[in-house]
Structure 1
């Protein structure tokens, strides 16, 4: 037998043994995971959007952590995108003062580690006044060392919002189809809903009210969630600002000059020409940044936010089952990241402009 054949044989034998060992370990880990997930945790998650008790099983507790991560990621994706777009527009402004402020923001928040930013915001929020001396925001929201208290719709309020959303979509669709009569009917329905909402505001919205030493009613955003959301949003917004600015700079100058030759106003050129072409070129880089923002939610552990990573670490400390829990957490993050990538790829295909190459 030649040396090459012996090497191939040894390699195949090693690979077979490795596959057998991994299969046996996976089988044992699978049995342990199934048994573990049905056991009660006997410990409490610090922050839970859905009801949670120490008697709940591990699968529910991990689900609570996953939901906390999803909510945090959703908040940060929206806020960082809004911040990034606004800062990108300011950086391209002809006003040197605004452009300088935007550039300073990008350089500051991109070059300071996120964990330091999160700890800074958490320390700042922790030193805010107590609820009885909370900072009032517009007479409807209150900021204190326990977080921010904001109004929230009641069950009936959510139904009214859903009805208003449907009526608004109906109006827009009928207007685009040039069906003026049906659009007017939709607008009338929207006006009726708005009138009822104003008249029955107290029944539709739960307002935070100070009673004793704390607020009751409304929605409380805890200081841990507020701190990590601020940190990730400002950090991610700095990167998104550069992505969006780069997208605007990729628009050919000849296209803009052609739009000007048609007599379009600067605002019309921005909305109808520059923004659509820039959007086409930033979708894929934004998808990469969005997956990064999702993974950054794991830093919630630093400020005590009960995200999926934090809950998984607690579960490992209490159960000792490291491999099954790490695999579950990995599968959750991988699934969420793949979902973001799939959505952005779909948007990239749907927003493709025939004849325009990025």
Structure 2
């Protein structure tokens, strides 16, 4: 009698291969485990959301975002866009977002400029310059940024005099504990025309530089671009301004009562926040720039010197372009840190998104919604900065041949 039974995984008497269970397939198991993990996460999230909504309903706490259409009823100290207390909570929160963007963008630009200068200075052959740059970096990096914000805010509000005794370093510029006042061009269409012309000039210069690079790659000779670029950047806006009437009137700040009226105003809160974030972040960027420059081989310096290039030209055209591939990724992180650190503005009274949302929360009692909006605002801004810097990083990446 023939025994037809066989152990699992062994071949049949006729030689056919054994049937394998789907669970023995690594790919199937990977997908199955991911489905199980996702189901667990969804179940936990469902429980937490349901439990939160139940607790809110039990305590008669209103949920949802309907409150955004109600009148805010509170004033905001400064805003780039029109706002008054009769506007909605949505408008107030948008003012906070715009104020956060203003501080972040200005801080990023100046932190990058200062960081590059300090980073290059740390590598200077001038002993005094290098030591001063080192002191700047080591001092500011090791003091918490919140303390630096308090320092700058206290310096402006406590050391500077009252408006009636304001310092006047330049005609029309006043420095007081109420902030900084400067002249501004009087409202006239010519100024807007000049601004549009400047934007057009910047685009034209970019095209000019790109054309010069293409000619250099094809022929080895680079056309001169400095004078044409300056002519576009200066001549075009001035020409448009002149054609549209060449207005020279300025809106000068004047002392009226206990403060100045007119001109451009920079509040103590904005000045302290911008100074603190900019100088603090610039110290970290300086170290990134220094390490990026040092990552470029010494042979590049030697080759440039052999060609008779000056150190400044070598740094600008040879060293920095190669160092950027090392500098850009960590600098992106510093830009994000500056943006997120702007949430400390609430400590010195600057009306950013966190400050405005906190006021909204105190009036409406809807903490979850307001915190969610704060998180969404910072997430959107941070992802936008990351996307732009990743695009720029890919654009400047060295292409292997």
Write the mapping of 1:70-219 to structure 2, written as runs, cut at 5 A.
Answer: 70-127=101-158, 128-153=160-185, 154-156=187-189, 157-167=191-201, 169-170=203-204, 173=207, 176=211, 189=236, 192-193=239-240, 200-202=247-249, 205-219=250-264
CA distance in structure 2 between the aligned counterparts of 1:340 and 1:132, rounded to whole angstroms: 42
**Counterpart-to-counterpart distance in 2, 1:255 and 1:91:** 19
Distance 1:355 1:206, change over 3 A: farther
Other structure's SS at 1:149 match: strand
Matches within 5 A, 1:1-358: 17-22=43-48, 24=50, 32-127=63-158, 128-153=160-185, 154-156=187-189, 157-167=191-201, 169-170=203-204, 173=207, 176=211, 189=236, 192-193=239-240, 200-202=247-249, 205-355=250-400
| Segment drifting more, 290-299 vs 163-172 | 163-172
Query: 1:140/1:249 Cα in 2 relative to 1: closer, same or farther (>3 Å)?
Result: farther
Note the C-alpha offset of 1:13: 8.9
Higher relative contact order, chain-length normalized (CA < 8 Å, sep 6+): 1
Higher helix share: 1
Gaps of 5+ in 1: 1-9
1:19–1:224: structure 2 CA closer, same or farther, 3 Å change rule?
closer
Q: How many residue pairs align between the two structures?
A: 342
Point out the structure with max Rg over C-alpha: 2
State the alpha-carbon separation in 2 of the partners of residues 12 and 195 from structure 1. 65
What whole-Å deviation, never above 9, does each CA across 1:105-139 have from its counterpart, x for those lacking one? 11111111111111111111112112232222332
Q: 1:197, 1:16 → 2: CA distance?
A: 62
What secondary structure, in the 3-state scheme, does the structure 2 residue paired with 1:137 have? coil
Determine the C-alpha separation between the residues in 1 that align with 2:379 and 2:51: 21
Deviates more, 1:206-215 or 1:220-229: 206-215
Unaligned runs of 5+ in 2: 1-35, 57-61, 213-222
Q: Structure 2 length normalisation: TM-score?
A: 0.77
Match of 1:7 in 2: none
CA contact (8 A) 1:164 1:193 kept: no
Return the alpha-carbon distance in structure 2 between the equivalents of residues 260 and 174 of structure 1: 28
RMSD value over aligned CA atoms? 3.1
TM-score of the aligned structures, taking structure 1 as reference length: 0.85
Distance 2:162 2:130 in 1: 38
